[in-house]
Amino acid sequence: MIEQKEQSFLEAVAKDLATFDYAGVCNIAIPCNTSHYFMKKLQAMTDINIINMVDETAKYIRERYGESAKVAILATDGTVNTGIYQKSLANYNLLPYIPNGNEGCSCVVLGCTELLALILAAK
């Protein structure tokens, strides 16, 4: 499904990237997890550094919990189906896991901003 929207998404973002370039922006952070599916194409569209939050998350988890840590991924179906966290975690020798119950993971990735909002609202 995400591939079907690729061209329109990239065209829309191209305008934003041009605006950022004109404004002299040095770094870009994209808070949408699913958008990271297009990270290589986005980065190829600009000379501005785009921070890859998926890879930064994987690096942090490896530093904090060590290699081979089992990492649960809680995210939207769209994010999970892209495989972005599974690939990135595996690249850092971490064990990605899509939970269907409590099975003892080292940590959990909240791969959707709405999930954090739900947790904070429950407190």
CATH of the domain at 86: 3.40.50.1860
* Residues 117 and 73 occupy one common structural domain: yes
Same domain (yes/no): 29, 66: no
Domain boundary among 51, 66, 89: 51
C-beta of residue 60 within 8 angstroms of C-beta of residue 88: no
CA separation for the pair 69, 92 (Å, rounded) = 10
For the entire predicted model, the pTM comes to 0.82
- What is the b/e burial string over 58-80, where b = at least 16 CB atoms within 10 angstroms of the residue's CB? beebbeeeeeebbbbbbbeeebb
Q: Which domain holds residue 24?
A: 2-51
Q: 18-48: per-residue pLDDT in tens? A: 999 999 999 999 999 999 999 999 999 999 9
pLDDT computed for residue 76 by the predictor = 86
Q: Do 28 and 86 belong to one domain?
A: no
74 and 87 in a single domain? The answer is: yes
Same domain for 45 and 71: no
Q: Do residue 21 and residue 32 come from a single domain?
A: yes
Residues 88/57, Cβ–Cβ less than 8 Å: yes
Q: Looking at the structure, tell me whether residues 114 and 58 fall in a common domain.
A: yes
Are the CB atoms for 112 and 79 separated by under 8 Å?
yes
Same domain, 76 and 87: yes
**58, 20: one domain:** no
Reported as a single tens digit per residue, the pLDDT across 83-106 is 999 999 999 999 999 987 667 788
d(CA 7, CA 11): 6
- For residues 47 and 66, membership in a common domain is answered with no
